C-alpha cells in the first residue's frame, strides 16, 4: 500500500490544521504569562481568553487548571483532592494506578463498575475521591458516570472522570473533576486540563494555575487545544456512526468484537481467531495499517492487559485482541480497506490453522 492508513487515534490523533496554526501563533507570544511587564500581561490575556474558549467548547461552567497532559491532571486530582481515601475502578488507565498506588479498587461486572461493590467501599471509611474513566481506551466501553456521581454525592465523596477518550466525542458526564488531553482530540501533545467543579475541592501547592501546579503554562499548546476543540466534534467526522457499527458487525461474523457493556463507536477491540495480536500487528503494519494492541502506554510490553483481564476477557482471547480506533480525519474508504485486510488475514490464518 503506497499510502498508509492510520487507525490508532486512541493513542494519539493527528493535529487538526486549525491547531497547528494556533500553536504557530502561540510561538510568537513567547512571554511568561506570570510576568508583570506588558509582554507578560499580553500573554496572560491570551491565556485567559483561551481558558474561556475551552470551557465554552466543553460546556463546562466550573474552573479549569491547565496541565502538561492527562497524566499530570490525574495526579493533581488524586493527590491534592481534599479526601482521605482513593477508590479507582479496575479498568482505569495505567496513569491512574501510577498516580494513586495503594488505592481501593472497585471491580467491573458486565462491562460496568459494580455499583454494589462501590457502595461497600464508600461506606467503609471517610470521604473518598473516586476515579472512574468515561470511555475505556482499550475496549471503548462507556461507564455510567452520571449514575455513579449520584452514588458518590450521596455519601459526600468526590468523583473524578478521565474523559481523555470521550471529550468532544460524547457529552461530558456529570463529575466533580474531569480530565481532558489535547493530543486525543486533534490538539498538540504535552497539554491537557483538569476541570474542577470547585477549586475548594483541592489543596493548593503554590505556583502557577491558581496555585495548583508548579510549571509555567504552555501557551502555544493551550492555544492549540482551544483551536482543536473549536474545530469540530464527532458530528463533523467524515465517517458516520452507522458505518463504524457496520464495520464491527462485519468483523464479528468471522472474529470477535471484545465489547463489554455499553460501547462508543470510535474504539473497537477485536480478536482474530488463530493469530496472536503481535503477529497481526506485524502483518497490518506491512500492509500499511497503523493499529495497536491496547493502550500506547503499555503496548510496548508483553504483559497481559489489566483492563481486558478486569473486563473478564479470557487470556486466549486477550492474546489475540487488537485495538482499532477512528479519528476526526478517518474516511469511509479507510475503514473499508482495513475491514477487507482484516478479513483477508483472518481467512489466511484459518486456512493455516
CB-CB contact of 23 with 50 (8 Å): no
Model confidence at 19: pLDDT above 60: yes
Lowest mean pLDDT, pick from 20-29, 131-140, 259-268, 299-308: 299-308
- Tens digit of each residue's pLDDT (9 = 90 or more) over 213-264: 988 999 999 999 999 999 999 999 999 989 998 999 999 999 999 988 899 9
Give dist(CA 105, CA 122) in Å, integer: 11
Catalytic option among 163, 264, 268, 297: 297
Query: Active-site residue 297, yes or no?
Result: yes
Instruction: Quote the pLDDT of residue 299.
Output: 45
Closest alpha carbon to 60 in 185, 172, 157, 163: 172
Q: How many residues does the chain have?
A: 353
Closest alpha carbon to 173 in 186, 159, 187, 185: 159
Kind and range of the H or E run holding 63: strand 63-67
- Tens digit of each residue's pLDDT (9 = 90 or more) over 254-305: 999 998 889 999 999 999 999 999 999 999 999 999 999 865 444 455 567 8
- Tens digit of each residue's pLDDT (9 = 90 or more) over 55-87: 999 999 999 999 999 999 999 999 999 999 999
Integer angstrom CA distances of residue 42 from 96, 158, 221: 36, 36, 16
- This prediction's pTM: 0.94
Amino acid at each position: 500500500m503506497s499510502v498508509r492508513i492510520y487507525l490508532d487515534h486512541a493513542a494519539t490523533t493527528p493535529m487538526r490544521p486549525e491547531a497547528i496554526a494556533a500553536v504557530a501563533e502561540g510561538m510568537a507570544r513567547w512571554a511568561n504569562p506570570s510576568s508583570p511587564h506588558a509582554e507578560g500581561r499580553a500573554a496572560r490575556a491570551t491565556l485567559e481568553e483561551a481558558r474561556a474558549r475551552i470551557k465554552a467548547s466543553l460546556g463546562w461552567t466550573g474552573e479549569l487548571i491547565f496541565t502538561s497532559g492527562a497524566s499530570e491532571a490525574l495526579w493533581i486530582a488524586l493527590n491534592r483532592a481534599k479526601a482521605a481515601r482513593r477508590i479507582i475502578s479496575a479498568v482505569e488507565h495505567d496513569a491512574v494506578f501510577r498516580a494513586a498506588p495503594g488505592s481501593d479498587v472497585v471491580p467491573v461486572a458486565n462491562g460496568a463498575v459494580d455499583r454494589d461493590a462501590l457502595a461497600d467501599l464508600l461506606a467503609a471509611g471517610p470521604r473518598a475521591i473516586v476515579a472512574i474513566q468515561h470511555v475505556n481506551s482499550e475496549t471503548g466501553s462507556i461507564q455510567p458516570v452520571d449514575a455513579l456521581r449520584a452514588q458518590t454525592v450521596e455519601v459526600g465523596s468526590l468523583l473524578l472522570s478521565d474523559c481523555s477518550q470521550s471529550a468532544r466525542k460524547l457529552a461530558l458526564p456529570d463529575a466533580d473533576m474531569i480530565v481532558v488531553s489535547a493530543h486525543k482530540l486533534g490538539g498538540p501533545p504535552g497539554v491537557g486540563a483538569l476541570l474542577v467543579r470547585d477549586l475548594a475541592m483541592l489543596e493548593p501547592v503554590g505556583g502557577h494555575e491558581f496555585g495548583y501546579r508548579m510549571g509555567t503554562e504552555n501557551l502555544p499548546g493551550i492555544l492549540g487545544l482551544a483551536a482543536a476543540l473549536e474545530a469540530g466534534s464527532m458530528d463533523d467526522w467524515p465517517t458516520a456512526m452507522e458505518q463504524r457499527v457496520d464495520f464491527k458487525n462485519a468483523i464479528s461474523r468471522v472474529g470477535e468484537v471484545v465489547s463489554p457493556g455499553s460501547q462508543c463507536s470510535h474504539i473497537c477491540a477485536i480478536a482474530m481467531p488463530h493469530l496472536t495480536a503481535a503477529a497481526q500487528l506485524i502483518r497490518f503494519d506491512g500492509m500499511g495499517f497503523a493499529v495497536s494492541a491496547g493502550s500506547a502506554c503499555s503496548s510496548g510490553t508483553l504483559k497481559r492487559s489489566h483492563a481486558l483481564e478486569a473486563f473478564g476477557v479470557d487470556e486466549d482471547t486477550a492474546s489475540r485482541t487488537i485495538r482499532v480506533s477512528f479519528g476526526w480525519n478517518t474516511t469511509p474508504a479507510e475503514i473499508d480497506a482495513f475491514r477487507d485486510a482484516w478479513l483477508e488475514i483472518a481467512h489466511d490464518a484459518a486456512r493455516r490453522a
